[in-house]
A = this chain, B = another copy of it.
């Protein structure tokens, strides 16, 4: 049997896990400063003291959310890499965009928190593992052919351009969807089409030139 701590971490019914899930959503919606511990506690249906009992102070809970996202997203990227491995570039990108878009639409808090972290000033120590993930994806996309153990700035930025394009449409849904007046399903479908249209040709074209 696992230790109580591990159990609490794994059992989604445990109070600790329930708090973490709600915290992830609320932090994603309102950002760190826009979120109050009372908002989270109320959403879970508990007292603030119970929240502090399980997770300590607000910043600790936020860091736990970051770590949770790192774990989940890291695993997802590994899964996708396995699926697309060996396929031609245009297919790899199409599948990756479709899959990751579905994933983020299902867990929009992840896109929200990542974008918040990019643009807002904070003083955290624990951090998103974006540098590692970005380098991994660059390798997976074949952008590091000339320097397998180092990721050139240009390759990093290209990957970030792709990833962030996805995040924007997920996090911006509340703002963009009324603009284009589409139902959710239709919005998701159009977002995927647009992303694939805009992002894939550049890379395919360059690959053909070598």
Contact = CB atoms under 8 A, between A and B. Distances in A.
B194 A161 contact: yes
Given A160-B176, A197-B202, A119 B130 contact: no
B156 A161 contact: no
Interface residues of A, number: 54
Interface string A169-191: 10110111001111000110011
Interface in A11-43: 29-34
A117 B31 CA distance: 12
A85 B30 CA distance: 40
Contacts of A198: 158, 161-162, 198-199, 202
Contact of A154 (B112, B169, B190): B190
Contacts of A116: 119-120
Interface in A25-63: 29-34
A181 B30 CA distance: 31
B154 A194 contact: yes
A194 B34 contact: no
A184 to B, nearest CB: 13
Contacts of A121: 29-30, 34, 174
Lowest 5 CB-CB distances: which A-B pairs, in order?
A: A153-B180, A33-B34, A118-B172, A119-B171, A33-B33
Given A118-B175, A130-B175, A157-B169, 17 more contacts: A31-B31, A31-B34, A34-B120, A118-B176, A119-B172, A130-B179, A131-B179, A153-B181, A153-B187, A154-B193, A156-B179, A158-B197, A161-B195, A162-B198, A165-B165, A200-B202, A201-B201
